Amino acid sequence: MKEKGLNLENRNFLKEILLDCLGSFLYAIGIYYFAKHANFAPGGISGVAIIINHYFKYLPIGTISLVLNIPIIIGSYRYLGKGYLLRTARTLVISAFFLDFVAPKIGMYEGMPLMAAIYAGAFAGAGLAIIYNNQTCTGGTDLVIMSARKVKPHLSIGQITILIDGMIIFAGWLVFNNIDAVLFGFLFTAVETMVIDRIMFGFNAGKMAMIISDYSVEIAKSIADNIDRSSTRLLAKGSYTGNDKEVLICACNRAQQVRINRIVREIDPNAFVIILDYSEVRGYGFQPFD
C-alpha cells in the first residue's frame, strides 16, 4: 500500500514537471522567438529582462528573470508560504532553462512587429495558462500582486496589474525610442490575458438560462426529456403584479441553449427568458471538482 502511494506521488510529481516544461516552452517561444526582436517590452519581469538585455546583450533573458525574482520570492515567503513558493521556484528554473537554452536554438521571428506582438501574447498566454493550472506561476508581478492582496484584500488585482505592467511597457518607449513599443506592449498584454482566460475558463464556459413562466413545470420536464438537462425551480414574486412566479435555472452549452429557446417558445410564447454567459460550472453532469 505504501509503495503504491509513493508511485502515485511520483507520477503526480512527474506530471507537474512535464506541465511546467510544456508551459515554459510555449512561454519561451512567445517571449524569446516573437517578442525579443520586435523591440517592445511586455509587462512583468520578462519585460524588465528584455529591457536589461537590450543594454547588456551578454545577459540572457531567462537568467535575468531568475535573478530579479529572487528578492520577490524572499519577500513573498511570509505571505504565500513555503509550498507554493517552492513550486514557483521550480517553475522559474525550468522557464529560465527554456528561455536561455531551448528557445535560442529555434531563432527569432524577424517579420512584422505587429504580428510578433500578437503571436507573442498568444504563445505566452497559452504557456502561462498551463502553468497556472499546474498550481504555480512564473513569479514576478504575480507574486507581488498575491502578496499585496494578503496585506490589503480590498486592493483591485486589475488596477495593480495595469499599474505595474503599464510602467514597464512605457519604459519600453524610452528604451526603444518608439511609441510603437507602447502599442505593441499593450497589445501583447491584451492577447496574453485573453488567451489565458480562454484556456483556463473557456473550455468550461457555457450559457445559463433563467426562465420565468407560468408553465415552468412543463418546460422543465421537456428540457429534461429532450436535452437531458436538469433545472432548478426557484420561487419568486413579480414586483409589478405581486404575483408568485417560478424561475427555472438551467446550465447548458451553446448548442443546448438554442434547443431550450425552441422548447420555451413552443410551450409558452409569453415566457421571459434571460441567457447569461458563465465562465465555468462544476458539479454533476459538468466538469467535476478537483
Residue 2 pLDDT > 60: no
Give the predicted TM-score (pTM) of the model. 0.75
Higher pLDDT, 243 or 169: 169
How far is Cα 206 from Cα 80, in angstroms, rounded to an integer?
33
List pLDDT tens digits, range 274-288. Answer: 988 877 766 666 666
List pLDDT tens digits, range 25-79. Answer: 999 999 999 999 899 999 899 999 999 999 999 999 999 999 999 999 999 988 8
Q: What is the mean pLDDT of residues 186-193?
A: 94
Residues ≥6 apart with Cβ < 8 Å to 263:
219, 222, 223, 226, 227
Q: What is the pLDDT of residue 24?
A: 97
Structural domains in the chain, CATH included, are 2-202 (no CATH), 205-278 (3.30.70.120)
How far is Cα 282 from Cα 226, in angstroms, rounded to an integer?
22
Q: What is the pLDDT of residue 244?
A: 83
pLDDT band at 1 (very low <50, low <70, confident <90, very high): very low
Q: What is the pLDDT of residue 173?
A: 93
Q: What is the pLDDT of residue 161?
A: 80
Q: What is the mean pLDDT of residues 237-243?
A: 79
Average pLDDT, the chain: 88
Residue 259 pLDDT > 60: yes
How far is Cα 111 from Cα 116, in angstroms, rounded to an integer?
7
Q: 275: which strand partners?
A: 209
Q: What is the mean pLDDT of residues 241-256?
A: 84
DSSP assignment of 72-116: HHHHHHHHH-HHHHHHHHHHHHHHHHIIIIIHHHH----S-HHHH
